[in-house]
Amino acid sequence: MGNNSELFKVKTLAEAIYSLKPYVQIFYQRAETIALEDSLGRILTQDIPATCAIPHFRKSTMDGMAVRALDTFGASESMPALVQCYGEVRMGEAPKEALKPGTGILIPTGGMLPEGADAVVMVEHLEHFGEELYGVTKAVAPGENLIEIGEDVTVGEVILTQFTRIRAQEMGLLASLGQVNVSVLPRFRVGILSTGDEIISPDKEPLPGQSRDINGYTLLGQALASGAEAHHYGIVKDDLEELRTMLTKMLKENDIVLLSGGSSVGTRDLSAQLIDELGDPGLLFHGLALKPGKPTIGGVVDGKLIFGLPGHPASAMVVFDAIVRPWLDGSVLCPQANPLPKGKMTQNLYSGSGREEFVRIRLIPNGEEWLLEPIRGKSGLIRTMVLADAVVHIPLDTEGIEAGKENPFSLLR
């Protein structure tokens, strides 16, 4: 362990994620069954095929009259088509008889069409001539104002794929199929530790040279927002044995351990040494070709992921989004097909640093589009993240982004 200098070269983000992947696969083979009402934000463990058609009967999308479209052809306000109306469809009940030619039945929105009916005339296009006689003042085409059987979902089609993160709409879809229990990944357990001699807890008054712990709380918030069970273990000084004791405990109790370094090289080297000593395979990267976020370290200790994140608050948040969140929300294994929103840069952004870059931006509405205004400020300033609405990604080997050019952005959730 730990003596191969090849391992310690600075890696790109893609290389770092690739090096971790084999060790994380096992997390995605776990499963637990939970009640549908508790499933928001959880990740499905398997594809869900539709067990029934939705809807399973033809239903009206309007209040009006179910008719045979043929009987309304040529109808107009001056020459309404005459229809005999036989009662009305009650909600939640199936009509008992088929429609005969020249007849109709009143129907509410969501009501079931009788056999023989193939369209619905909306109530605005009906005239009541007394008794059962109605006039239709506008012709309807077959299939108008109704939803066909299986129009929403057909039997057997995969409606949700494995590793989909459940939103409110997926909860509704699962409910429509009668899935009151759902198989999901257990929540990732994330432990967070702040390290460094200069870091003190927020309830203390900082002396010159000391800083209140910011990262412990930004990372806790990000982990919780990603659906993890997260716990902040407090602050440990730059002391090898104290750090070893705390890390051993955290590795036992969590799937992912996040160390947020003070800004010192000493803290980082201690963390790197421990990651390498505590178990196999140890340290997998020492530095990322990332801006901000170069001092990030990471590895795996006996199946648990461990990251040393930068001390600068904005850097730590950007790195969390880039390399920790994708494991927690399953997007590493199931990249979301949803395209990112786009906006136009208000000024040129130069890069060419040999690193991927994540630039904090403010979104400015401009008619139908967004303008993206870079927020200038060092990554040690937490306020730059508070002011930022989103982040723009400048990939490796690009010289930057021109002003006025459309560019995708990721909202800071």
pLDDT of residue 337: 56
Sign of the alpha-carbon torsion through 359, 360, 364, 370: positive
Same domain, 99 and 9: no
Computed on alpha carbons and rounded to an integer, the radius of gyration of the chain in Å comes to: 30
Same domain, 178 and 191: no
Between 1 and 309, name the one with better pLDDT: 309
Which are the contacts of 4, defined by CB distance < 8 A and separation ≥ 6? none
pLDDT of residue 397: 82
Beta bridge partners of 288: 11
- The answer to whether position 399 is within a domain reads yes
- The answer to whether position 333 is within a domain reads no
Same domain, 199 and 305: yes
- The answer to whether position 349 is within a domain reads yes
Confidence of residue 329 (pLDDT cuts 50, 70, 90): confident
Statement: residue 346 has pLDDT above 90: yes
Same domain, 223 and 293: yes
Statement: residue 5 has pLDDT above 80: no
Confidence of residue 8 (pLDDT cuts 50, 70, 90): low
> Among the three residues 267, 295, 328, which one is the final residue of a domain in this structure?
328
Burial 4-21 (b: 16+ CB within 10 A, else e): eeebbebbbbeebbebbe
Same domain, 126 and 215: no
> Among the three residues 328, 360, 389, which one is the final residue of a domain in this structure?
328
Domain boundaries, position 211: 5-29+187-328
C-alpha to C-alpha distance for 17 and 215, rounded to whole angstroms: 22
Range scoring the smallest mean pLDDT among 235-239, 313-317, 355-359, 378-382? 378-382
pLDDT of residue 339: 78
Same domain, 96 and 201: no
Same domain, 234 and 196: yes
Same domain, 111 and 233: no
Q: Work out whether strand 103-107 and strand 64-67 pair parallel, antiparallel, or are unpaired.
A: antiparallel
- Cα distances (angstroms) measured from residue 198 to each of 211, 312, 329: 6, 13, 33
Q: pLDDT tens across 130-179, in order?
A: 999 999 999 999 999 999 999 999 999 999 999 999 999 999 999 999 99
C-alpha to C-alpha distance for 252 and 254, rounded to whole angstroms: 6
Q: pLDDT tens across 219-274, in order?
A: 999 999 999 999 999 999 988 999 999 999 999 999 999 999 755 677 788 888 99
Same domain, 112 and 195: no
pLDDT of residue 264: 65
Confidence of residue 354 (pLDDT cuts 50, 70, 90): confident
Same domain, 179 and 191: no
SS3 for 265? helix
pLDDT of residue 270: 87
The residue with tokens 């900082």 is 206
Burial status of residue 410 (CB atoms within 10 A of its CB: 0-12, 13-18, 19 or more): middle
- The answer to whether position 23 is within a domain reads yes
pLDDT of residue 335: 67
Q: Work out whether strand 356-366 and strand 290-291 pair parallel, antiparallel, or are unpaired.
A: parallel
Same domain, 215 and 303: yes
Mean pLDDT to the nearest integer, 197-208: 94
Q: Compute CA 165 distance to the chain's CA centroid, rounded to the nearest angstrom.
A: 6
> Among the three residues 184, 204, 233, which one is the final residue of a domain in this structure?
184
- Tokens (6 digits) for 337: 């097909």
Burial status of residue 340 (CB atoms within 10 A of its CB: 0-12, 13-18, 19 or more): middle
Q: pLDDT tens across 32-51, in order?
A: 999 999 999 999 999 999 99
Same domain, 219 and 316: yes
What CATH number is attached to the domain comprising 220? 3.40.980.10
Statement: residue 4 has pLDDT above 60: no
- The answer to whether position 336 is within a domain reads no
- The answer to whether position 242 is within a domain reads yes
Mean pLDDT computed over every residue of the chain: 92
Through-space distance between the first and last CA atoms of the chain, rounded to whole angstroms: 38
Structurally, how many domains does the chain consist of? 4
Type of residue found at 72: T
pLDDT of residue 230: 98
pTM for the structure as a whole:
0.86
Mean pLDDT to the nearest integer, 213-220: 96
